Amino acid sequence: MIENVLWVAVAFMLACSLISKKRRIGKLLGAIGWGIFSLHWFYQPMHFIQIEDYVNVLLVIVVGIICLILAYNMFKEYRDLKPMSGQSVDVTYMATVATALASLFYFPFAQMDSLNVWIISLVTDNVFWTLQILGQPAEMAAWNKISLNGYHVEIILACTAIESIALFIGLIASVNAPLKKLVSAFLVSVPIIYTLNIIRDVFVIIAYAYQWFGPNSFDIAHHTIAKIGSGLALFGIAYIVMRILPELVDLIEGIWKMVAEYIHSIYEKVSGND
């Protein structure tokens, strides 16, 4: 059910992306798409609560709220017949294009068994090869499972960094810039993200196999250290990409301004200052 909702949201966003941003109907389609997209994110906390990944619980709730804010602003732009004032770029349209393109890249891997198995197998083979290079006596317990020192780790889709890769592809492709800049932004993001993810997976497997952090080694290595490391790495990569494509700075600042204005308006109403 939730997968169908997801594809409906992407379809509305893609329709918005294909329509000129000067046409009013595009804003309405985008608003509907973001509203439906928020349902997907608000459904995710249940999964992360079950696996006790509370960082992602908070993250997906925040993303869901941002989706609703974007939906509200796109509907307001549709109603007012013009973009939000003070924007150097059409933030809502650009965000919709980036999300539609990222979704078109990511969701086939999540929904199609052939692509899902291919990307997981590729990452598993690369992780296994890296462990061998490091002299670790790892064994392939299954097509997507690696065994080391009697401990087994299963590689799943979330271990492939496909979400982050899709995000950067969507952002880069949404920018109207010379091809040379787009290629440069791609090369300093996607290949590096993939490589760093292999290193992350290797670290988690070794830390778990040798119980570096005691009985909770997997949780500490995977949910804490690796997650913090991944966040810092993505922040650094995003900084470099934004230096190459400054239009992305306008996009992020625009979204931040929308969220800040929405929070401020709620505060004013609650405090009675409105």
CA–CA separation, 53 and 56 (whole Å): 6
Q: Note whether residue 90 is domain-resident.
A: no
* Residue 272 sits in the same domain as residue 164: yes
pLDDT digits (tens, 9 = 90+) for 24-38: 888 999 999 999 999
pTM for the model stands at 0.85
36 within some domain? yes
Let me know if residue 64 belongs to a domain.
Answer: yes
Domain identity same for 53 and 189: no
Q: State how far the Cα of 210 lies from the Cα of 196, in Å rounded to an integer.
A: 21
Is residue 2 one of the residues assigned to a domain?
yes
Same domain, 212 and 117: yes
Residue 93 lies in a domain: no
At residue 205's C-alpha, the angle toward residues 199 and 209, to 5°, is 145
- The Cα 149–Cα 28 span in angstroms is 56
Q: 142-179 pLDDT, tens per residue?
A: 999 999 999 999 999 999 999 999 999 999 999 988 99
Tell me what the pLDDT averaged over the chain comes to. 89
In a domain, 99, yes or no: no
Residue 222 CA from chain centroid, whole number: 18
Q: Which of 33, 49, 82 is the last residue of a domain?
A: 82
Amino acid at 84: M
What total number of domains does the chain contain? 2
CB proximity list for 218: less than 8 A, separation 6 or greater: 153, 204, 207, 208
Q: Is position 152 within any domain?
A: yes
What span, in angstroms and rounded, lies between the C-alpha atoms of 140 and 121? 11
Reduced to 3 states (helix: H, G, I; strand: E, B; else coil), residue 139 is strand
Within-domain flag for 87: no
Range of the domain at 273: 107-274
* pLDDT tens, per residue, the chain with 274 residues: 566 788 899 999 999 988 866 678 889 999 999 999 999 888 888 877 887 777 778 888 999 999 999 999 999 888 876 654 445 578 899 999 999 999 999 988 988 899 999 999 999 999 999 999 999 999 999 999 999 999 999 999 999 999 999 999 999 999 988 999 999 999 999 999 999 999 999 999 999 999 999 999 999 999 899 989 999 999 999 999 999 999 898 888 888 888 888 887 887 777 766 5
- Evaluated on CA atoms 93, 99, 102, 108, the torsion sign reads negative
E strand or H helix at 191: helix 190-209
Domain endpoint, select from 48, 82, 116:
82
